[in-house]
Chains A and B, each alone.
Chain A
Amino acid sequence: MSNELEYLSRRVASGKLSRRDFLGRAAALGVTAPFANMLLSSAARAEGPVKGGTLKAGLVGGESTNSLDPALMMTQVPFAFGKCWGEMIVELSPEGKLENRIAEEIGSSDDAKVWTLKIRDGVEFHNGKTVTAEDVAATLERHSDEKSKSGALGYMKGIETIKASGKEVVLTLKEANADLPYLLSDYHLIVQPNGGKDKPDAGISAGPYVVKTNEPGVRHVGERFANYWQGDKMGHADQIEVVVINDATARTAALQGGQVNMINRVEPKIVDLIKRVPGVTIRNHAGPGHYVFIMHCNTAPFDNNDLRMALKLAIDREEMLNKVLRGYGSLGNDFPINSSYPLFTEIEQRKYDPDKAKFHYKKSGHDGTVLLRTSDVAFPGAVDASQLFQQSAAKAGIKIEIKREPGDGYWNEVWNKQPFCASYWGGRSTQDQMYSTAYLSTADWNDTRFKRPDFDKMVLAARAELDEAKRKQMYHDMAVLVRDEGGLILPMFNQFIDATGAKVGGWVDDPHQELMNGYALAKCWLEA
């Protein structure tokens, strides 16, 4: 960076030069606008966080049935509020690396079966007690117990024994798993005193904010925790508040009216309108979430790979991305992994090809219509997407009949029950998690009924492999298998679209979840 540019960007950050002037001067120095903007944001970040004030978020995804028990967290509001009051054992950084929190160090045996977590000194709970290895072990124990009904139970089942000794917690796994630290970053695993066994919904952990008000479905307020162990990095605002606003229009109005500083889930169709509102910034970024059409590989007529291939080729991904997501997403390639996963590799993009689709359709010998079930709740715009699919398939001579199902009960009666329907996945943090959750023969949520012993073996082998290059190759091969022989039609990955109001500083895009992986309230600040 030239000295002059650096000088200029610092002047903007300290308010001595307007942004527009800066961009003009930068252009004069031969710098392109995107690069100049980048300089500017890094300078603003270097300027440092501002302490104080109340940061408010208006979020969809809270009900009056929510609980502070981390095991029961499912929707966005408990998730985002949990990141404010809870402290994790380990967390994923925005770059996808592991960030040690309560565990200061994580080590494993060579076969990735025994893992040792070294607990950080001097981390304090909101109730004044120090976080010990026993607390961490108890937390993991509680989430491994069927009775806790924990959302993390699926992964925790793989842990055979949990032992705390001195400052260490030793985990012995049933089967080797190189991804264990990633699994421990699951948002349910908030460390609680004695693992929350005494009172699971007490709302006490070691996060940057202390729970002050908890009115499920209405609002949640946190006050800065004075003894937070890394107060320089998080907990800038004096107080944070989550207001539950499930109605999309009300959420947008609240941001425009200045009642909240940030909102989640801006609808793609209104993004362009919101962008024009002064002071409002759209924060959209890619994540692992995707919209899908799923076929059961073991149910006629979808037990025929030619028919599956015909349908995969008969979907116009580009059109769907543009019309349903208005471009706020990326093309899918019929396997559930994209660049937000650490070990992702590119595979040739599948394109809309009516001729080839016709060929495979003929070869499958199927005659008549194919019944596709869809619903508003399958994903935003699912009904429109199904109709686009119907039209593009018709050009390939494939007749798709659409059955619109009621939203109420869709996840009980249709998804994972009917052989062909629309659905979505939020994605997971590692490939292993994603494949284990939905593509292993034994998985409860194997919603494509993809039951292939050879694939199962590959999943287990990759899980135990510590060599990164080899693992990458294994995941590549698995992706090809799912893409070419599985029951998944994945036209597009969606983006998280959040928005912030004026004066919100410190935003960093995070590919793992919306709202900076839930940390927006804890990591952002109000500019003076």
Chain B
Amino acid sequence: MARKYWKGLEELKETTEFIKHKENEFPTQQTVEAFLSNDKLDETSTGRRDFLKFLGFSVAAATLAACEAPVTKAVPYVVKPENVTPGMATWYASTYYDGASYASILVKTREGRPIFIKGNKDFGLTQGAVNPQIIASILGLYDSARLIGPTENGKLVSWSSVDSSISKALKSAKTVSLLSNSIISPTLQKQIDEMSAAMAANGQILNHIQYDAISYSAIRQANEQNFGAAIIPSYDFSKAKTIISLGADFLGTWLMANQYVQQYGLTRNPDSKWMSKHFQFESFMSLSGSNADYRGMIKPSEQAAVLSFLIKGLGGNCAVASTLNTPTKSIADQALKSLKSSKQSSLVVCGSNNVSLQLLTNQLNQLLGSYGTTIDLTNDVKLFKSEDAKVIKLANDVISGKGPDAMLFMGVNPVYSLPNGEAFGKALKKIKTTVSFSGFADETASLCSYVCPDHHALESWLDYQPTNNHYAIAQPTIRPIHNTASVIETFSVWSGKSIRLGKDSSTAYDLIKSNYSERFPLGDFAYSTHNSCETVPGNLNVLTPFKNGVLGKLPSAGALEVVLYQKGAIGNGQHASNPWLQEMPDPITKATWDNYITMNPVEMKQQGFVTTYDQEHGLNLATVSVNGKKVTLPVFPLPGQALNTVGIALGYGRGANGEAIGKAAFQTKEYGGHDLDEKGGLKPIGANVYHFVSTENGNLQFDTTGSLAKAEGMYAIASTQIHHTVMGRHSIVRETTLPIFTSKGKEAYNPAHTLQKLNKEGHHEDVPNSEFDLWDAHPVEKIGHRWGMTIDLSSCIGCGSCLIACQSENNVPVVGKDEVRRGREMHWLRIDRYFASDEEATIGQRKDKDTFSYDKAEIAAENPKVIHMPMMCQHCNHAPCETVCPVLATTHSNEGLNQMTYNRCIGTRYCANNCPYKVRRFNWFEYPSYKKFTEVNPAQDDLGRMVLNPDVTVRTRGVMEKCSFCVQRIQSTKLVAKKESRMINDGEFATACSDACPTNAIVVGDWNDFKSSVYSSSKNDRSYQALEEVGAKPNVWYKVKVRNEDNELLSSLQKEKPVAHHEGKKAHH
């Protein structure tokens, strides 16, 4: 049988079709003409001409792709937009509000992208004060985890689709709850009100509840009882000669801290007529407590007794017991003395959210006559309107299945921040429609059926009314990066008043502008936008006279009292994915990337916890139980923590279920990548302790009681400082008291270093260090510019704004927890924090030179004094780093700067070893690309990279870097002055740190300009140079910290020298 060969199954089976076409080798006999004349051809997407275009393009693309390096082109504008000049920064005045912090800001944009935020010193409530969170929020704009558009059940959808489904859902809902943070935007409030009215007309209920994770509701309630209005008054710390704070961290996170910190700074200048006296009674050592002149360690339950003691001492009536322990009483006595002398120029604030404590505080302020002087009830604060009782009821309703038909979440994250957030989150699916406006698929948003992401604050138009008489505007500084929409527009669309116009929509702008016109009929919106604010005339509260309130339950005492506090960087947790903030050392503990249980080391030793830690030695873990809920965290030794109390920071443990809140919010591994738990889930940083928050009289309480048990294991702590005292070294930090400062001469509190020299007569003579010199002087004195800086340790509160501003300005890489633990953080500017030891009369001043023990000096006192010392390159005129570099990579400029030439550096690190201030930072790895830093360093992210300052080089591995005095700013200031043919004006140039300082502790300028403020500041009696005896001749001066306290011991040590008699000389003659 002959074999049969076949080409296809058709041939094999000999189908009719096959037989039919068997003879035709080419199936269609169409001519080219016929093919081209086919009309349908035009309808196809790829026409003949297009084909040629594609062909051409493919050839070009292939050619380009074959090139060795990717071609990066700077494309010039065809039509240059107004106000945008490549290489020139454009600044926009705006306003920042995130539900917790408020500030008037200036945003720097370069080529259309915002890269830097600083405080607006000319306009607004906050007078230029900003906190680290606000400065760092610029990085949040470029977080790659931000939602890029609206989602439905986690899937990206179009705005038209979510709008129609949500509108439909809202129409069918009987009750709708809107849970928002405190709304201070009049336009947004109006949209909510209009929607509410429209729904009411339909027989529906829109229940708007405002909720702050950190609530101050007790202040409002106390004022309601005392003055008939549930308000938070405006406090004016700048008028307060005596400040008494009970656990209120008014310099860090309490209420309008950005306003208070600036006011407080004004009262801390010992050179002015008066200086405030600050008493702090607290359990956890807060930023405010670390700056207090007197600090009492009390348990939260003892606050009432302190208030009662002061009320009684001022002749008031108080039913609360006022027994205090001896150390507290001695401080309370001092406080009483001070209050009696300052009377109505006093201010008492209390951080507790217990109504009774706030009533006592009000009573004390009333006794002192503070109302009308330091407390302004007529111009109240519109922030922090949390209605705790309603929130708790709503949450309980939802959990028990009695929730509304639809819920909207705006600026809140209750699943994370509610005490029963977890249960609330589980119950959310019982609600038919849930909508979040969050920019991230966070704990709450990820459980919602719809997420309609709001613009980032820097992308949107908003108006604010932070206080009664103040109106502020926030303007966008960049076209929205993603497909997000302003909530103002969203509400307007859902109410049927507007249509969705996409991300370039002007709906919000129009609404805000028309609101503005209603309010300020004669106003110019453009002008107000330029200033960012406007005063609302005559809008003041009229209040009933003070009426005593009824005291309810006071915080109860417990064997262990637990204080839940906020860190300056992390706050309530909404910025947890911001690596700059995570890596910012806590002002007091200097720990990064974690929360922990703070406990007094004295107590820790008794309980067998280790009290020292370093790179390789971690801390013991312990479990804190509150109301049956447990959290296991390391126990951190914090001197100044009241005995029998522990503190734990809120705001940690974000993304416990791996929610996409940003890659920096999770723990990373030693060699890169996220650290995963046994189930393969992401590990959050720290632990969430919001479930420890209890309620009292419907108010959320952040002080509670619980118990602590040692747990198995040790935990590595990434701290930037592992030694805590200054070891009695007087040439590093200098401190004195106001009485000494005002009554004695400079040599008492700020003696110059001297060395002995033979005089002409052959006798020894003490002469200043400056007369001895190994080297020729650099030609910087009195020639051209000489950039200098003074840092006033009296004004510096250690908040860390300068550190974050420096990081933002100078592209300082983030290195992550593991590298910080190894002592390799890259911050160009750090804030050294020293605790006093029992060997010192005050920090840096030995009690007794003969009996001084180094061993004991290493241990901080139980309730130590604290000093914050910003430390950066001192730009020494005789820089030890410069002489040792073999390749001259670090040299001195003729303007007095110690400059670092990155591309000349070969990385021997000799300069860093020889730097007495240890301010040089080495690039241990290639931070912009090494895998270890992918999760943490924004420079490794396509979007995150946008935040980099184009004026500053991103450093490669193996080179040294350090503070440059923001040389890029110096250069641009010089250029501007040169173009205008004039000298640089004093104050025209500011470094990022001095710009950011809320208390103006840092002054920079041209030291060769003898009229400059930096020159006069450096000639102040308090000015000294750190480690002067080393002879490095820095261009940075520090100013002696003056504490407004009485310190007999210090007074006996800081003596004026008897008028210099030259005994030898006399004898000779």
Say whether A and B bind each other: no
- Hey, which bits of chain A sit against chain B, CB under 8 A? none
- Hey, which bits of chain B sit against chain A, CB under 8 A? none
